[in-house]
Amino acid sequence: MPRSFVITWHFLTAIPLTHSHHDPTPSELAKSMAWFPIIGLIVGSVLALCAYFLSDVFSRGVTDMLLIVVLVILTGGLHQDGLADTFDGWAGGRTPEQRLAIMRDGRIGAIGATALILALGLRYAGLSALPDASRLPVLLCMPAIGRWAMVLGAVSSPYARADGGLAAPFLGNLRVRHVLVATVSLAPALFLAIGITGGLIALTLASLAARAVTALAYRLCGGITGDMLGTINEITEILFLLLAPMLFRLR
């Protein structure tokens, strides 16, 4: 199993593959981002399998809620935490320094809690609105396109904190070739799932969402952080879910 895959898996999920301590170099961390969509497809496969089997036991509404629970468990709530911290910081500070300090505070504020509730509610609404024919393909691709958007949002983006942080090595060594590998990993599955036209539109909208968050982060904080990358994932996944019925009809 490639070392870069293991690094990515341990970073993006809460399920350990090995108990060995991995001490990746900055270049290995950047290289591992090429695996982000693959990890997303694995997570999506688990969601699709859960939806397939749970739908025989529970109602549609209960199944959709359980799918959200499964997603949070698989990822350790990493991106939901990033979303809440980001909105707390963006809304609560007047300067980049204040915003970044608020993001580092482990406590969740009113704005962060509101953003998290709205995100979970929109995710549930998106799942509920999926037609049966598109349900499993969309569940397969949803985590993958969110993680691909993280890679696109990170490339050529400065890290916001001068003292470094968890995402700093990723950003400092990420190159366009890593983005291209990530795109090639995602595109075939996306095109098979929702069609070439729908897939191209989804990739375009995801890239616009990712770069819009990056631009706002640069304006408010002078760069991005790991929390903001998590925010890109959440926004992109929800956007994909909400637009999926329309995209699926274009196939």
Q: What is the pLDDT of residues 119-162, one digit of tens each?
A: 999 999 999 999 998 999 999 999 999 999 999 999 989 999 87
User: Cα–Cα distance between 231 and 17 in angstroms, integer?
Assistant: 26
Q: Is the pLDDT of residue 24 over 90?
A: no
pLDDT score, position 22: 64
The gap from C-alpha 207 to its chain's centroid, in whole angstroms, comes to 12
CB within 8 Å of 186: residues ≥ 6 apart: 37, 40, 41, 141, 144, 145, 148, 203
What is the distance in angstroms between the CA of the first residue and the CA of the last residue of the chain?
35
The dihedrals phi and psi of 104, each to the nearest 5 degrees, come to -80, -15
Give me the residues paired with residue 159 across strands. 224
What tokens appear for 42 in the block? 């694995």
Q: Assess whether pLDDT exceeds 70 at residue 20.
A: no
pLDDT-derived band at 227 (thresholds 50, 70, 90) equals very high
Count helices and strands in the chain by DSSP H and E runs: 12, 0
Whether the pLDDT of residue 21 is over 60: the answer is: no
Distance of CA 130 to the CA centre of its chain: 20
Residue 113: the pLDDT is 97
* Helix, strand, coil content of the chain in percent (nearest 5): 80, 0, 20
pTM comes to: 0.94
